[in-house]
A and B are shown apart, each in its own frame.
Chain A
Amino acid sequence: EDQVTQSPEALRLQEGESSSLNCSYTVSGLRGLFWYRQDPGKGPEFLFTLYSAGEEKEKERLKATLTKKESFLHITAPKPEDSATYLCAVQPAGAGSYQLTFGKGTKLSVIP
């Protein structure tokens, strides 16, 4: 069974204080690992897809990395507007593997 564990559950940072969010996964063959941002009362917003170990992607203050067992979302010099819940999900490889398995998310609060 595919599993995704995100840590920490919640993270409070001062504005400008860089940190990382962790996503550990177990999947029988990985087609893709996804990162989403979710604001309260809204649907998840797509950030990144990573496909293979060693891959990195960046967008503004966010950088996602992938190994064979986990992914990290690095946040450099965060701002209050980066406050949100960040979700990680995996899609298994194989025919008919349409669904994503999500972690419970990390709720990030950036304090001015």
Chain B
Amino acid sequence: SQTIHQWPATLVQPVGSPLSLECTVEGTSNPNLYWYRQAAGRGLQLLFYSVGIGQISSEVPQNLSASRPQDRQFILSSKKLLLSDSGFYLCAHSTPYGYTFGSGTRLTVV
């Protein structure tokens, strides 16, 4: 079965510090991978998606970047966090039957 791992679960970071969130998928090869952000009172917003190693598409201009160094690894990064980067970050992969989400990372920038 397919499993998606995401860590850490919670993170508190000061403004201006770097960020690295990691997501890995098991049980599938060449998955389509996604990073979503969920802010309070708003729907899930697609940030990046990737259809293969080294292939990243950005949906929203922002302070964040994404990379896919391996087939089943997707990383969300920032060089300098802003207060507005706070939120709930979710990694997901798509299957023919739907999307499977990770357990999420609650990021608080202070």
Assuming the contacts A98-B51, A98-B94, asked whether A4 and B43 have C-beta atoms less than 8 A apart, the reply is yes
Q: Which of A41-49, A63-71, A76-84 contacts B (4 or more CB under 8 A)?
A: A41-49
Q: Which residues of chain A are near B42, meaning CB under 8 Å?
A: 104
Interface residues on B, range: 20 to 34
Contacting pair A99 B49 (CB below 8 A): yes
Contact partners of B32 in chain A: CB under 8 A? 98
Say yes or no: A41 contacts B46, CB within 8 Å: no
Bound-state Cα–Cα, A89 to B45, Å: 11
- Provide the B93-105 mask, 1 if CB < 8 A to any CB of A, else 0: 0100111111110
Q: Report which residue of A4, A41, A42, A98 has the largest number of chain B beta carbons within 10 angstroms of its beta carbon.
A: A98
A43-B99 contact in complex given A100-B46, A104-B42, C-beta closer than 8 Å = no
Instruction: Name the distance in Å between B79's Cβ and chain A's nearest Cβ.
Output: 25
B43 touches A104 (CB 8 A): yes
In the complex the two chains form, is A99's CB within 8 Å of B104's CB? no
- In the complex, which residue of chain A has the Cβ closest to the Cβ of B95? A46
B100 touches A46 (CB 8 A): yes
**B97 and A43: CB pair below 8 A?**
no
Residues of B within 8 A of A87 (CB): 43-44
Q: Does B61 contact A (CB under 8 A)?
A: no
Pick from A34, A43, A104: contact of B104, CB under 8 Å:
A43
Is A25 in the interface zone, CB < 8 Å from B? no
Q: Tell me how far the C-beta of B98 lies from the nearest C-beta in chain A, rounded to whole angstroms.
A: 5
What are 29 contact pairs spanning A and B, CB under 8 A?
Answer: A34-B98, A34-B99, A41-B104, A42-B103, A42-B104, A43-B6, A43-B102, A43-B104, A44-B44, A44-B90, A45-B101, A46-B99, A49-B98, A87-B43, A89-B44, A89-B99, A98-B32, A98-B34, A98-B49, A98-B51, A98-B94, A99-B34, A99-B59, A100-B44, A102-B43, A103-B43, A104-B41, A104-B42, A105-B43
